[in-house]
Amino acid sequence: MNSSNNSSIFSEKLKTVIEKELTRYETKRSAILPICHAIQDECGWVQEKHIDALEKEYSLNRIQVKEVLTFYKAYKQSEPKKFEIEFCDNIVCCMMGAKDAMAKIEELIEKQGVNSEFGLKGVPCLGVCDQAPAMLVNKDRHHKITNENVEKVLSRYSSTI
């Protein structure tokens, strides 16, 4: 471990967390999940420069770090938008119109262009099948979303919708 590296992109607090996690587990690979959580908590998302620094400063295998980041949906690999929408795309929500509502959201985001305040991703389940389709906007849960009411729901978050 190279915590004395003054040119580190990691804050002192984050370096302390990384080093603690690396000593907590038998293998470095086991520490990747909590380390990536700590980076995301401090920085908002895990960037390529973080992966490079983990490899250079702590000898973490970059492929193993990328495997974690791409396997678990909890990690963000791009800068989060102001309003992150997670839309349930399981079978129940799809049967209740989720695909149409998601298409409407994509259309609204596209209208906003590159400066859109919204990000959208499908998630496997939000646990409210009795109120399908469902979505989260940041941590706010919305139920029975349709392509007819989605614009009204999103206008609560932004006047540009």
Q: What is the dihedral of CA 61, 56, 37, 120, to 10 degrees?
A: -80
Residue 4 covered by a domain: no
Measured between alpha carbons, how far is 143 from 96 in angstroms, rounded to an integer? 11
The whole-number pLDDT of residue 5 equals 47
Q: Sign of torsion, CA 84 90 96 97? A: positive
In angstroms, the CA 53 to CA 62 distance is 10
107 shares a domain with 65 = no
Helices (H) and strands (E) in the chain, counts: 7, 4
- Residue 3 inside a domain? The answer is no
Asked which of 71, 93, 119 is the last residue of a domain, the reply is 71
pTM of the model: 0.66
pLDDT, one tens digit per residue, over 10-42 is 999 999 999 999 999 999 999 999 999 999 999
CATH number of domain containing 107: 3.40.30.10
Answer whether residue 144 is part of any domain. Answer: yes
Report which secondary-structure segment, H or E, holds 143: none
Q: Nearest to residue 137, comparing CAs of 160, 124, 155?
A: 155
Q: Which domain holds residue 21?
A: 12-71
Does any domain span residue 159?
A: no
pLDDT of residue 4: 46
Instruction: Tell me the per-residue pLDDT of 89-140, one tens digit each, with 9 for 90 and over.
Output: 999 999 999 999 999 999 999 998 878 899 999 998 999 999 999 999 999 9
Indicate whether 104 and 48 sit together in one domain.
no
Name residue 54's amino acid: L
